[in-house]
Amino acid sequence: MLYDQIAMNKRRTGYVMFGFGVLVLAIGAALGYLFWNSWVSGTVIAAVVAAVYMLIMISQSTNVVMSMNHAREIKDEQQAPQLWHLIEDMALVAQVPMPRVFIIDDASPNAFATGNDPKHAAVAVTTGIMDRLNREELEGVIGHEMSHVRNYDIRLQTIALALSAAIGLLVNFASNWFWWGGGRRRDDDRDSGGNVIGIVISILLIVLAPLAASIAQMALSRNREYLADASSVELTRNPQGLINALKKIDDSAPMKAADPNSSALYISDPFKKRQKFADLFATHPPIADRIARLEKM
């Protein structure tokens, strides 16, 4: 079961990266053809840019995600003894190395994990969660996060986050260029070249936007959250702790420090979008559902 999950996550990470690579190469080829009349040079430049971006993302993802969410790292257990000890405990039972520990100064209770693999993982919690939850409840939350680490959920989610952010950036850039640069060109010289570029860009936009969405969607499996809840209970042997924690997290104000692109990483939606049922595009299953499943155990 667990190994299936790990294998599936690794496979999906491969798909996501492959899909992204193909997409970037296609864009490079199209742009190269348009501007220099040579699709080869466009493809080569795009390949170099994509490779550099992926390498940076893979080596720096933890730092990038943490700074996007205004998290600061703590290196000494005395800075937050209880949190540190609980993370040590959960790393011990989940049989993964001790991750890096981060704290986000935000009064809303929430937490997330990120990284490339269990050896390079990081867990972040808000000051709000440390203040409001007791030891047992916090243990449930940390157990949930360490399950994401052990299951390689963190790798898939972090890569998907990075890539869909990059596509989002491209789409923004292209649509701005289309409306301002492309638009002016159409007014100034009504040659066919401008129109072709305009058409190509709009086609790219049409193709790109749903692709970004589907990459994000792959990472946002709600089953993954249910599974991490169950794995957490398997580690702590205490469903009540996590149930109470989820109740407290549900009953609180939205986060201020969270980055919108990273919202899928959090244990509970940091922006508290209200939802009555598990709809297709929600990043998180409703907390009531998660509690109900935990209570059945």
The set of catalytic residues is 145
Nearest to 25 by CA among 6, 5, 53, 60: 53
**Part of the chain binding another protein (CB under 8 A), chosen from 45-53, 115-123, 186-194, 222-230:** 222-230
Largest interatomic CA distance in the chain: 71
Q: How many residues bind another protein (CB under 8 A)?
A: 28
CB of 8 to another protein, least distance (A): 6
Neighbour count for residue 273 (Cβ, 10 Å): 11
CB of 167 to another protein, least distance (A): 23
How far apart CA 69 and CA 228 sit, in angstroms, is 22
Closest to another protein by CB, 160 or 255: 160
Nearest to 289 by CA among 239, 231, 225, 237: 225
How far apart CA 237 and CA 90 sit, in angstroms, is 11
**Part of the chain binding another protein (CB under 8 A), chosen from 21-29, 39-47, 97-105, 221-229:** 221-229
Interface of this chain with another protein, residues 46 to 85, rule: CB under 8 A: 81-82, 85
Query: Is the Cα torsion angle 234, 263, 258, 114 positive or negative in sign?
Result: positive
**Contact pick of 68, 88, 202, 205 for another protein (by CB under 8 A):** 88
Q: Which three-class secondary structure state does DSSP give residue 126?
A: strand
123: burial class by Cβ within 10 Å (0-12, 13-18, 19+)? Answer: buried
Interface of this chain with another protein, residues 227 to 256, rule: CB under 8 A: 227, 230-231, 233-234, 237-239
CB of 220 to another protein, least distance (A): 11
How far apart CA 144 and CA 160 sit, in angstroms, is 20
Closest to another protein by CB, 175 or 238: 238
CB of 240 to another protein, least distance (A): 9
Closest to another protein by CB, 88 or 250: 88
Using CB under 8 A as the binding rule, whether residue 226 contacts another protein is answered as: yes
**Contact pick of 34, 74, 93, 213 for another protein (by CB under 8 A):** 93
How far apart CA 201 and CA 208 sit, in angstroms, is 10
Interface of this chain with another protein, residues 3 to 22, rule: CB under 8 A: 4-5, 8
Interface of this chain with another protein, residues 147 to 206, rule: CB under 8 A: none
R_g over Cα of the chain: 22
Using CB under 8 A as the binding rule, whether residue 263 contacts another protein is answered as: no
Query: Is the Cα torsion angle 63, 67, 71, 72 positive or negative in sign?
Result: positive
In the complex, the residues that contact another protein under the rule CB under 8 A are 1, 4-5, 8, 81-82, 85, 88-89, 92-93, 95, 135, 139, 221, 223, 226-227, 230-231, 233-234, 237-239, 293, 296-297
